[in-house]
Amino acid sequence: MASDLLSIAASGARAARGALDVTAQNIANASTDGYVRRSVGMEEVSAAGGLLRTGDLSLSGVRIGGIDRNADMFRQAEVRRTTSDLSRASAELNGLENIESAVEQAGLYSAITEFEASLQQLAVDPSDPSLRAAALASAETMAQKFNIADSSTSSAAEGLRFEAGAAVDQANVLGGELARVNLRLTRAGAGSSDRASLLDQRDILLEQLSGIATISTSFAADGGVSVRLGGSTGPLFVTGGAAGAIGMSTAADGTISYDLDGTALSLSGGSLAGAALALGEAASVRARLDALAEGIATTANDAQANGTALDGTAGQPLFDGVGAAGMRVALTSGSGLATAGAGQPAGSRDGSNLAALRQALVVEGPAEQTNALLFDISARVQSRTLTHEALDTIAASARITLEQQAGVDLDTEATNLIRFQQAFQASARAMQISTELFDTLLGLG
């Protein structure tokens, strides 16, 4: 007879122990990030009957066939895709919100209104020194608000570039790690617990990488992955044990572009794409601020040139400096404001040139332009917020779907504990019976 009851029972007890170990491992890792529930695949061990021994029992028990990792490739790919979209939207929204705060909290609009209001007040009595001083002070405040708006926008852009640089570094580290995991996967045995944990690691790395850039993946039979950046036709980033290097370059206007080993990258998702989009917005906001500041400065200086200051001399420029960052008030005293028309004597109460300046400002419409700028930024933030909310829900449900399938359910594990404990007890009982059988045989004599 080719069967041995004791060894069959022992193999059953061993398999049940193994299954209990895996269950305990699942329970222990119930809240570990990226952990995919393991299950034990059992295989019967038996031999086929040979020639002349067709009626024989040749049973040898059970063995653990392998550790299965219950990951659904499709759901994982969905999580990666939605993560890419979400982190692009997050990075862009974050950047846009910073730009919005920078321009809005600088108080540009109220400063421009205040400047116009002070000119309106001056029109009542153009020779009043205190009204002139007030007008000059409000011009100074407005110039400073322009400086602040520009510097806070540029520091928001600086922050975005810093984050993008850090993300590029992280992506390069992740690429290197993925290449290492690929190498180790070629050496890990199929169905081993080592391989399962390497695959877990691979999926975590892929998910992190998808948060930084859009990736397209293809898997080898041994579980190794090759990664393309920016979609299925993009350049290869990781293949086998080799990983490329992502680079970032900054243009003169502060916008950024990426490359992989010198090949230009076009990314549609991930935080890198979001940062590039937000920086594009920052550059356009700064250009509009510059145009606004220069428009006001030119209008005011042109009007000044046509008028007469309080001391009877020709009007000097009110503002100088380049762009919003450099705007400053050039006049040192309120008496330099050329409120009177050309040819008026010193101390004139004539306000015709002031009226011309105010009219020119109405035509130029800096307050309306600022209002439009603020509206554009905030409308963009609002639409991105809506996009972000939608993408957030999509990404969260993709993750929950994956977790439902791949995550650990403690109730199931509790049931498994009982099931395998009973299996262990039953195998032990079988061992006991085989001993008793032996004893019975010995007792015959």
Cα gap 385→435, rounded to integer Å: 72
The residue from 405, 419, 431, 434 that contacts another protein (CB under 8 A) is 405
Of positions 28, 400, 433, 437, contacts another protein by CB under 8 A? 400
Task: Check residue 200 for interaction with another protein (CB under 8 A).
Answer: no
Rounded Cα gap, residues 168 and 181, in angstroms: 20
**306 touches another protein by CB under 8 A:** no
Q: For the range 315-320, what are the long-range contacts, defined as Cβ-Cβ under 8 Å and sequence gap of 24 or more?
A: 315/353, 318/139, 319/139, 319/143
Question: In this chain, which of 28, 251, 314, 410 binds another protein, going by CB under 8 A?
Answer: 410
Closest approach, Cβ 353 to another protein, in A, equals 12
What percent of the chain is helix, strand and coil (3-state, nearest 5)? 65, 15, 25
- Looking at 8-16, 59-67, 125-133, 155-163, which segment touches another protein (CB under 8 A)? 125-133
In the set 51, 190, 221, 411, which binds another protein (CB under 8 A)? 411
CA distance 414 to 84: 36
Alpha carbon distance 318, 133 (integer Å): 13
Q: Binding string to another protein for residues 161 to 180, with x set by CB under 8 A, is what?
A: --------------------
Provide, rounded to whole angstroms, the least separation between the CB of residue 117 and another protein: 5
Is the distance from CB of 327 to CB of 292 less than 8 angstroms?
A: no
Distance between CA 308 and CA 346 in Å, rounded? 8
CA 246 to chain centre: 17
Report, in Å, the least distance between residue 386 CB and another protein.
10
Distances 319 to 113, 152, 298, 362, 369 between C-alpha atoms, Å: 17, 21, 8, 18, 19
Question: Please, which residue, 162 or 375, has the CB nearer to another protein?
Answer: 375
359 binds another protein (CB under 8 A): no
Q: How many residues bind another protein (CB under 8 A)?
A: 54
Q: 408, 420, 423, 427: which one contacts another protein (CB under 8 A)?
A: 408
110 sits near another protein (criterion: CB under 8 A): yes
Residue 420: phi and psi, rounded to 5, are -75, -30
Cβ proximity to another protein: between 343 and 347 the closer is 347
| SS3 call for 67 | strand
Decide: is 264 part of the binding site for another protein (CB under 8 A).
no
Q: Give the binding site for another protein (CB under 8 A).
A: 30-31, 37, 97, 100-101, 104, 109-110, 113-114, 116-117, 120-121, 123-125, 127-128, 345, 347-351, 367, 371-372, 374-375, 377-379, 381-382, 385, 396, 399-400, 403-412, 414-415, 417-418
